[in-house]
């Protein structure tokens, strides 16, 4: 049993050395990056021209505060590639808002487009569902399908 444990420690240490060796890119003072990149696509039901899109990585579903935000201009396209660099490991919500109104912060409003990863029709997932592991990249494919936010009743 003890020999087996040492074996696993040796394997872990060897992997650690490999990760350090592949980290590269920074100065000697920079820590080895352990955070992940998150790549995906924000899908819209229709092409919209020039409104701002924002994708949030968040502990909850309120975009007033967030862990990370990626944003840009829609430029008349129904599939918008987004990316995040350097996201701390954790399990999060990830959602996209296309700001058809003038406001650029806070919750989506009627006539904006809103979508959450893992659900359709702008429904919030029951729990955070984006797992960001440490020290590796999530390949593209985190697809968020946005839908029109209906007018308030
Ligand atoms: Ca939040």
Residue 54 Cα to ligand 1 midpoint, Å, equals: 13
Instruction: Report how far ligand 1's centroid is from the alpha carbon of 65 (Å).
Output: 4
CA 105 to centroid of ligand 1, rounded, Å: 11
The confidence band for 129, taking pLDDT boundaries of 50, 70 and 90, is very high
User: Are the CB atoms for 107 and 69 separated by under 8 Å?
Assistant: no
How far does residue 68's CA lie from ligand 1's centre (Å)? 10
Four-residue CA torsion sign, 96, 101, 106, 107: negative
Query: How far is 109 from 148, CA to CA, in rounded Å?
Result: 10
List Cβ neighbours of 24 (8 Å cut-off, separation of 6 or more). none
Cα dist. 75→31, 44, 80, 120 in Å?
37, 12, 9, 23
CA of 60 to the centre of ligand 1 (A): 5
3-state secondary structure of 85: strand
Condensed to tens digits (0 to 9), the pLDDT of residues 27-56 reads 556 555 578 889 999 999 999 988 999 999
Measured in residues, the chain has a length of 153
Backbone dihedral angles phi then psi of residue 66, each to the nearest 5 degrees = -160, 165
Which tens digits make up the pLDDT trace of 57-73? 999 999 999 999 999 99
Give the distance (Å) from ligand 1 centre to CA of residue 58. 5
**Between these two residues, 98 and 150, which has the higher pLDDT value?**
98
Residues 96-118: what's their mean pLDDT? 94
Which pLDDT score, from 0 to 100, does residue 138 have? 67
Between the CA of 59 and the centroid of ligand 1 the distance, in Å, is: 6
């Amino acid at each position: 049993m003890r020999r087996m444990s040492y074996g696993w420690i040796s394997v872990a240490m060897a992997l650690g050395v490999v990760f350090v060796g592949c980290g590269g890119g920074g100065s000697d003072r920079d820590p080895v990056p352990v955070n992940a990149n998150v790549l995906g696509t924000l899908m819209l039901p229709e092409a919209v021209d020039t409104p701002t899109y924002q994708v949030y990585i968040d502990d909850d579903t309120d975009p007033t505060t967030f862990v990370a935000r990626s944003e840009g201009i829609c430029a008349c396209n129904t599939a918008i590639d987004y990316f995040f660099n350097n996201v701390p490991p954790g399990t999060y919500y990830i959602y996209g808002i296309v700001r058809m109104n003038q406001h650029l912060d806070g919750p989506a409003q009627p006539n904006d487009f809103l979508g959450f990863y893992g659900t359709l029709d702008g429904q919030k997932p029951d729990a955070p569902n984006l797992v960001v592991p440490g020290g590796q990249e999530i390949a593209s494919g985190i697809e968020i399908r946005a839908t029109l936010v209906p007018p308030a009743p």
